[in-house]
Amino acid sequence: MERPLPTPRVMLPRGANLQRPPLPPVRKYAVDPSLPRRRRPVTTALADTGLLYALAHRPKYLEMFLGLYGETVAVATAVEDEIRQISRIPQATRAHKNLVLMGACADRLVAKLDDKTITVREPSEDSADLEAALQQQLRELDRAEAEQRGTTWRSKDVDRTKRHHGEMESILVATDIIKAGGTAILLTNDGGASRVAWQQGVSARNLRDILAELACANPDLKEEDLLTAFNEMTAHFGTLPAEVRPTDSSAFRCRAFGGACQFCDR
């Protein structure tokens, strides 16, 4: 699928640590209001593990996503490690570990990593200080979520931040790209990761956004089918915060007319 060429009108803002307004404390996902429904080309789109598993659960949409985003799709080294670790689990033992579905998704993604359809990026050595700050921010979000659930957050729960390692590295790579003068976006269903990325000047898109972008690029896609696919892809992993989950199929309705869209062409 031919990708549109970046133009000044559709490129994301350049520069590191862009100033962003603070997010309301009740918001679970950082939605960038400047991004239209239609995909805006970027230098690199950093996808995290959960979102890729969700797409790989429905291979048709994984292929369409890779076709739309093309060579811009990349993962951080930590995300690659997470995917390959699951793929290396022998199929005979996956059922005992409740990893049958996740293992199949990991296998599909490893094939894309091996043939370089999905490239791998490593954070720069200069990002060590930022890494510590991101770890602290993710830790505080875990603490806040525990308190909202009415559970006691304990010091040993710090180890839970390790589950965010892929998202953290993805944000680090994105900030490296922005510092170098490029444009980057984080592809994640994780609300906490989107909030931390927002604080670093990195916009996030989720599975709902990606399927809507596919609808804009392919008028043959039916919005009802996309809603069904979304629900199936997020039933086991990559669940989105309720505030950004689609309530009906209109979330995937392309409103373009005659090749123009008042919502996207601004």
Q: Does the pLDDT of residue 37 top 90, yes or no?
A: no
pLDDT at 26: 64
pLDDT at 19 (0 to 100): 54
Cβ partners under 8 Å of residue 204, min gap 6: 29, 30, 32, 185, 186, 187, 188, 193, 194, 197, 198
d(CA 167, CA 238): 13
Going through the chain in order, the beta strands assigned E by DSSP cover: 44-47, 73-76, 119-121, 184-187, 203-205
4 pLDDT tier (thresholds 50, 70, 90): very low
Query: Are the C-beta atoms of residues 87 and 106 closer than 8 Å to each other?
Result: yes
- Residue holding tokens 């890729």? 52
Average pLDDT over residues 212-220: 93
pLDDT at 9 > cutoff 50: no
d(CA 69, CA 243): 26
Average pLDDT over residues 44-72: 97
46 forms bridges with which residues in the sheet?
A: 74, 186
Number of Cβ within a 10 Å radius of residue 224? 11
- Report the chain's mean pLDDT, rounded to a whole number: 85
Report the pLDDT averaged over residues 122-143.
Answer: 81
Residue 265: band (very low, low, confident or very high) from pLDDT cuts 50, 70, 90? low
Q: Is 78 within 8 Å of 29 (Cβ atoms)?
A: no
**How confident is the model over 233-259, as pLDDT tens digits?**
999 989 999 999 999 999 999 887 777
Tell me what percent of the residues of the chain surpass a pLDDT of 70: 79
Q: Pick from 174, 202, 245: which is nearest to 28 by CA?
A: 245
Minimum mean pLDDT range among 29-38, 89-98, 129-138, 148-157: 148-157
